[in-house]
Structure 1
Amino acid sequence: MKFLLITLIVHAPHPVTGVKPSTHERFQEVLGNAVLAEELGFDGFGVGERHERPFISSSPPVVLSHVAALTSRIRLFTAVTTLSLLDPVRAYEDYATLDHLSNGRLELIIGKGNGAAQRELFHVTPDDQWDRNAESYELFREIWRHDRVSAQPRFRPALSDAEVWPRPLQEPIRVWHGSATSQASVDLAARYGDPLFSTNVTNPIEPYAELIRYYRERWAAYGHDPALATVGAGTAGYFAARRSQDAVEAYRPVFEGQLAFQKQLGLTPVFRTLEDFIERSSALIGSPQQIIDKVHRYHEQFGHSVLHLHADAGGLTPAQHRAALELFQSEIAPVLRRDIPDPPWPWAPVTAVPLAA
């Protein structure tokens, strides 16, 4: 099993202290967490893409380019690239450039994105967002694979024997499809034989497990080898301590602060108590053995081979955050790596060459 740290770069008051960092400070936190992820031995670091409050993750290629300069081994993920909002030609140019700057460490997780405000910003409607996502992905995919492309898309001007530069380093790049609530993204992933990444953060396990089962059904229906169907999954929160009681009590003010913030945004919480959150959500809070057992329970439903944790401290102190991640790598990850298979492909880039000094 492989492990990622992912941030959506939420820019909001600290859930415990109420203090809001500056934009500059928040970006510095992201960079520090990326360096920490590589230092501790995580396999990937991901940056989301949102175009509305309370997020400042509108430019993941820029952030990941800086992360690429600060790291050398860890794979770099988008989580997700909102192709329903983007011109696929421009998105290709950004990510092909980043592919070179990262020495072939880039992986994309694509999706239509969430939120009415960002749809309105880009003049995308609920009726056309899924069509835009599929069309943008298909055109992005063609550009990545071919030196010249001709296409008559609905949502951008036609291309006639067009060349788009630079050509990428990875041929082709791996693209995951982010899945939250709709069969449309699941079917698109299965159709092209691409891996699926379940958000798995908002609700109990059942709706996510149902979509993953559907992905495997559609994968087989499209004629792909069932052994190659690959799934990643998110988690709603993480904090480990050697004693479960200590983990729960340390996380309680974090949960209560997050609950208050959800209510402030007008959201209806799915999990109203910390105990319910720990029991029924994908959150990994407790002793190392409790977390190992819970990942195994989810794996029985998902069959996933990649797992993400939150990159941000999220209300924990920096010392608590680092200690919990160190405990994950020293006592939790080795067991899960032994028990649960990796994705069915080499994780390290195979086409990359050393960058000039």
Structure 2
Amino acid sequence: MEIGVSTFVETTPDVVTGKVISHAQRLREVVDEIVLADQVGLDIFGVGEHHRKDYAASSPAVVLAAAASRTERIRLTSAVTVLSSADPVRVFQDFATLDALSNGRAEIMAGRGSFIESFPLFGYDLDDYNELFDEKLELLLKLRESEIVSWRGGHRPAIHQLGVYPRPVQNPLPVWIGSGGTRGSVIRAGMLGLPLVLAIIGGSPLHFAPLVQLYKRAAAQAGHDVSKLPIASHSHGFVAEDTETAADKFFPSTQQAMNVLGRERGWGHYDRNSFDAARSFEGALYVGDPETVAQKIIHLRKNVGITRFMLHVPVGTMPHDDVMKAIELLGKEVAPRVRAEISEWEAQ
């Protein structure tokens, strides 16, 4: 069972002072968070790509590369790379470079992107949303299979017998599919034999169990060894010494961030009742003391089949010291509990 952290490198206004941290400071803080995650024994750290004022990481590979030379074991991934609006050649080159700098610890999490700012920024039509992803994923997978590539599609100039460098340390360079939980995306990942990441940020996590089974059936029908396909979840959460402290610290900035997105997307108002319901044992928020968070992760593994859990922290801007403490507790107290109980359960 792998456990780690994901972040969008948020720069939302401080809920108390109203001040906004600079992109530069937040980027430096995230590198420190990755270093700490490595030191406390976490398995993976993911940085999500966004192209808007309230998130600082438009280039996850660069952020992760800054941490590569200061870390030793932790795997480094995008979370996600918005592949639909990116050039797959450049994505492959960036992460192959990261793979070299980290000595084989890079991964790509490819997604369509639930945020659409990158499409007009890079000149893509949202009417081509699905077609762009399918085509660019095809090219990305071809690039990792062969040093010399020939390829033709409808949205990018053709490539004819050209080499793409550098080549990664890992062969093949891991590519995961990020999904918000649609049937089509999990079937595609299964048919391609690619690892799957589910964004479980609302409702009951157990509702994702049928999607995991659908993914496995699609993989098996396509001839892939299902036992070798990892499945990850990405969920909001926070860890503190006691559950009430965790909830009280995590709620204000989370509410602020969720209501900004809610106004953009037509969601209902996010209040403390919504928050408290989501942090119940059957809810999608992993907020609490180490034992509470560990038991929820174990529950997810046993009932949904997740083999990698990524805690997304913070959701809105929080004091850096609080985030660092949450990462420390996740690595030193939550992860050992989860690994020990899952190992015992699987041995039975």
Q: Is the TM-score greater than 0.5?
A: yes
Q: Is the CA contact 1:181–1:207 (under 8 Å) kept in the aligned structure 2?
A: no
- The Cα of 1:253 is off from its aligned counterpart by 3.3
Residue in structure 1 matched with residue 158 of structure 2 by the alignment: 158
1:244-283 pair list within 5 angstroms: 244-262=243-261, 265=264, 267-269=266-268, 272=271, 273=273, 274-279=275-280, 281-283=283-285
Of stretches 175-184 and 317-326 in structure 1, the one that deviates more from structure 2 is 317-326
1:88-237 pair list within 5 angstroms: 88-205=88-205, 208-237=208-237
- The correspondence for 2:334, drawn from 301, 308, 332, is 332
Q: Is the CA contact 1:16–1:254 (under 8 Å) kept in the aligned structure 2?
A: no
TM-score normalised to the size of structure 2? 0.88
The one-letter code sitting in structure 1 at the alignment partner of 2:106 is L
Residues 314 and 33 (structure 1), Cα distance of their counterparts in 2 relative to 1, 3 Å cut: farther
The one-letter code sitting in structure 1 at the alignment partner of 2:292 is Q
Deviation by residue 1:239-258 (Cα, 9 ceiling, x = unmatched):
232x4333333434344444
Of stretches 199-208 and 275-284 in structure 1, the one that deviates more from structure 2 is 199-208
Q: Is the CA contact 2:232–2:306 (under 8 Å) kept in the aligned structure 1?
A: yes
The one-letter code sitting in structure 2 at the alignment partner of 1:251 is F
Deviation by residue 1:147-206 (Cα, 9 ceiling, x = unmatched):
211122121111211112222221111111101043333222112211101111244325
Q: Is there any run of 5+ residues in structure 2 with no aligned partner, and where? A: 344-348
- The correspondence for 2:306, drawn from 304, 308, 311, is 304
The alignment partner of 2:184 has SS state of helix
Q: Is the CA contact 1:177–1:196 (under 8 Å) kept in the aligned structure 2?
A: yes
- Partner Cα distance (2:216, 2:73) in 1: 31
1:78-97 pair list within 5 angstroms: 78-97=78-97
Q: Is the CA contact 1:110–1:178 (under 8 Å) kept in the aligned structure 2?
A: yes
CA RMSD of aligned residues (A): 2.4
- Partner Cα distance (1:247, 1:6) in 2: 18
The alignment partner of 1:237 has SS state of strand
Q: Is there any run of 5+ residues in structure 1 with no aligned partner, and where? A: 342-357
The alignment partner of 1:189 has SS state of helix
Residues 85 and 226 (structure 1), Cα distance of their counterparts in 2 relative to 1, 3 Å cut: same
Identity of aligned residues (%): 32
Residue in structure 2 matched with residue 67 of structure 1 by the alignment: 67
- Partner Cα distance (1:250, 1:160) in 2: 54
- The Cα of 1:84 is off from its aligned counterpart by 0.9
- Partner Cα distance (2:309, 2:2) in 1: 6
- The Cα of 1:48 is off from its aligned counterpart by 0.8
- The Cα of 1:69 is off from its aligned counterpart by 2.2
The alignment partner of 2:57 has SS state of coil
- Partner Cα distance (1:99, 1:128) in 2: 31
